[in-house]
Amino acid sequence: MEIKNETWGSRTGLILAMAGNAVGLGNFLRFPVQAIQNGGGTFIIPYLVCFVLLGIPLLFTEWSIGRFGGKSGNHSTPYILEAMGKGSWWKYIGVFGIFTNIAVVAYYTYIESWTLIYVFHTLFGTFSDLSQTAVSEYFLQYVNLTGSDFGIPLFPLWIYIIVLGINCYILSTGLGGIEKVAKIGMPLLILFGVILAVKGWSMGAENATELIPDANAWDGLNFLWTPQFSSLWDPKVWLAAAGQIFFTLSVGMGSIQCYASYLKANEDIALNSLTSGFTNEFVEIVLGSAIVIPIAAGFLGMDWVLNNAGFGMAFQTMPYLFQQWGAVFGTIAGVCWFGLLFFAGITSSLAMGTPWMGFMKDEFGWGKVKGALSFGLLALIMGAPTILFYQYGYFEEYDYWAGTVSLVIFAFLEMILFAWVFGINRGWEELNSGADIQVPAFFKWVMCYVTPVLLLFVLLGAMLTPEGNDWQEAFTGLWKGEGWKLDAHSLIAKISHEDLKHSLEAKEGTEDGNWLSDRVFFSNLARIQLVVLFVFISVIVWFSGVKRKSISHE
């Protein structure tokens, strides 16, 4: 029997589910790479500043927005925002809160499928006799369709469908199922992380390979925790830190608002939001920084890490490194690593399914099973091309537009709504209602002025990224009257595919004359598909608005 007013079963389950929503693949894959690429210890300082000035205010805002909406029976952002705003058009801004989750889960689940299949590869000893190069090529063959049947990646596609099916099944059980997964998955994730982190901390020069005799894991830890103050004032470091906050806390998506909408009217949101936020920070800073970089530095040396740090290390390098610990512990380490990545991924992807299900339940009376199946179908339609056309950059297009740009736009608009349209005084009252702690008044000022301005700077920074990401040189050139030269990877340049043209120029000696035309074609196709999804959800929201009006007139 369907529960009319579903709520969380316990405070522990809520916090773990919220933390699971935030703790994702970015904590272990993106954070250490961002730190390496932005000055190591230098990155930690702006990262923590951005957590205080961006992360915590956005958590306060989204938890407040969610609980406020839940009081009136709304469990997704379109009608929560409409109720808070002064015009019905706010519900179309709220479309971002459904669109982003579907678009992101479409490719995010593909990464989840990698982690799951790599658990089994580790157990079956697939990597035990492979060289580092062979392990790397194994992954590239998997995602680039080499050796696939008739050019169709049947095996990766089936694994993707299985993982998506697991997500849909858990979603069909409602909040209770999500809560159970969080109570099991989060402790296991932390346990696996602690095992790997302790091993990483305990590595010394004795773990170095014969080829890199001076390798030392502590070189990686020292780099990550030793500030290089010369680069502290580099704007690109601060922009990278702000961007990481979005990835790590899952703000600007709509999933936090949805989870919070199932809270009881006077349930604490101030302490709960801080608890989930700091749990995420612990996992990211303490565990996330203690696994990939130190272990890689311990075997391959810090110079190798600085030159090769990237997202692919998790699948192209770590399986090989784990085998250097011997067959038994290498297998344990591999299961811990890919197991924690799987739990990090699935606790986040489950959160991405709830806004769609909440909206369809509120507006059309759809049950959990129907909502979960429809979400799975939409995700499959959107996600299948990221597998079929991975080598053409389909995956990257989704990640940039839906998983990056969309988050900043939505976060900026919801902060304006909360602080200036709904009103910071009303918002502050909502935040503190039923709170177990007294939120410092400092944050009221930050949420009203500092956070919106910083979000605007992040958005403008992405749009106007200067050539070479060298902000100091760009401002100097502008002062001298030389104009502002955009980087090929700036938002404005990406619209016209300047990034692809730049990549082609870097591919010296390429024999593929159709590389650019193919990439541009599939890039445009991915963007069209994202626009169609946004329009599709907007039409459903419009239709629901018509339906609401007809009911109110009866």
User: Is the residue at 527 inside a domain?
Assistant: no
Range of the domain at 81: 11-440
Tokens of 160: 């993707």
According to DSSP, the residues that pair with 152 across neighbouring strands are 149
User: How far is it, in rounded angstroms, from Cα 459 to Cα 239?
Assistant: 9
**DSSP label at residue 325:** T
pLDDT tens digits, 116-153: 999 999 999 999 988 989 999 999 888 876 444 444 55
- Are 465 and 234 in contact by the 8 Å Cβ rule? The answer is no
With a CB cutoff of 8 Å and minimum separation 6, the contacts of 410 are 93, 96, 97, 100, 252, 253, 254
- Are 331 and 122 in contact by the 8 Å Cβ rule? The answer is yes
CA nearest to 273, candidates 289, 261, 260, 286: 260
User: Is the residue at 155 inside a domain?
Assistant: yes
User: Is the residue at 141 inside a domain?
Assistant: yes
User: Is the residue at 475 inside a domain?
Assistant: no
Per-residue pLDDT of the chain (554 residues; tens, 9 = 90+): 333 467 887 888 888 888 888 888 888 888 888 888 888 888 888 999 999 999 999 999 999 999 999 999 999 999 999 999 888 899 999 999 999 999 999 999 999 999 999 999 999 999 998 898 999 999 988 887 644 444 455 788 999 999 999 999 999 999 999 999 999 999 999 999 999 988 887 775 455 454 566 677 888 888 888 877 766 777 778 888 888 888 888 899 999 999 999 998 888 999 999 999 998 998 898 888 888 888 888 888 888 888 888 888 899 999 999 988 888 999 999 999 999 999 999 999 999 999 999 999 999 999 999 999 999 999 999 999 999 999 899 999 999 999 889 999 999 999 999 999 999 999 999 999 988 888 999 999 999 999 999 999 988 888 888 888 788 788 888 888 888 888 888 889 899 888 888 877 766 545 556 888 889 999 999 999 999 999 999 999 999 999 998 886 66
pLDDT tens digits, 266-298: 889 999 999 999 989 988 988 888 888 888 888
User: How far is it, in rounded angstroms, from Cα 51 to Cα 64?
Assistant: 18
State the total domains in the chain. Answer: 1
Q: Burial letters for 390-429: b for 16+ Cβ neighbours within 10 Å, e otherwise?
A: bebbbbbbbbbbbbbbbbbbbbbbbbbbbbebbebeebbe
- Identify the CATH number of the domain in which residue 135 sits: 1.10.4160
Q: How many other β-carbons are positioned within 10 Å of the β-carbon of residue 359? A: 28
- What is the phi-psi region of residue 437: left when phi exceeds 0, alpha when psi lies from -120 to 50, beta otherwise? beta
User: Is the residue at 462 inside a domain?
Assistant: no
User: Is the residue at 515 inside a domain?
Assistant: no
Q: Let me know if 115 is exposed, middle or buried by CB neighbors in 10 A (0-12, 13-18, 19+).
A: buried
Residue 149 in 3-state DSSP?
A: strand
User: Is the residue at 199 inside a domain?
Assistant: yes
User: Is the residue at 548 inside a domain?
Assistant: no
Residue 168 in 3-state DSSP?
A: helix
- Are 348 and 250 in contact by the 8 Å Cβ rule? The answer is yes
Q: How many other β-carbons are positioned within 10 Å of the β-carbon of residue 297? A: 30
According to DSSP, the residues that pair with 466 across neighbouring strands are 486
User: How far is it, in rounded angstroms, from Cα 107 to Cα 102?
Assistant: 9
**What's the pLDDT at 149?**
47
**What's the pLDDT at 3?**
39
CA nearest to 225, candidates 27, 48, 26: 48
Q: Let me know if 236 is exposed, middle or buried by CB neighbors in 10 A (0-12, 13-18, 19+).
A: buried
**What's the pLDDT at 502?**
80
User: How far is it, in rounded angstroms, from Cα 417 to Cα 53?
Assistant: 18
CA nearest to 349, candidates 324, 375, 368: 375
| CA distances to 136, 217, 321 from 196, in Å | 21, 13, 12
pLDDT tens digits, 430-450: 999 988 888 999 999 999 999
Threshold 0.75, pTM exceeds: yes
Tokens of 302: 């810090």
Residue 343 in 3-state DSSP?
A: helix
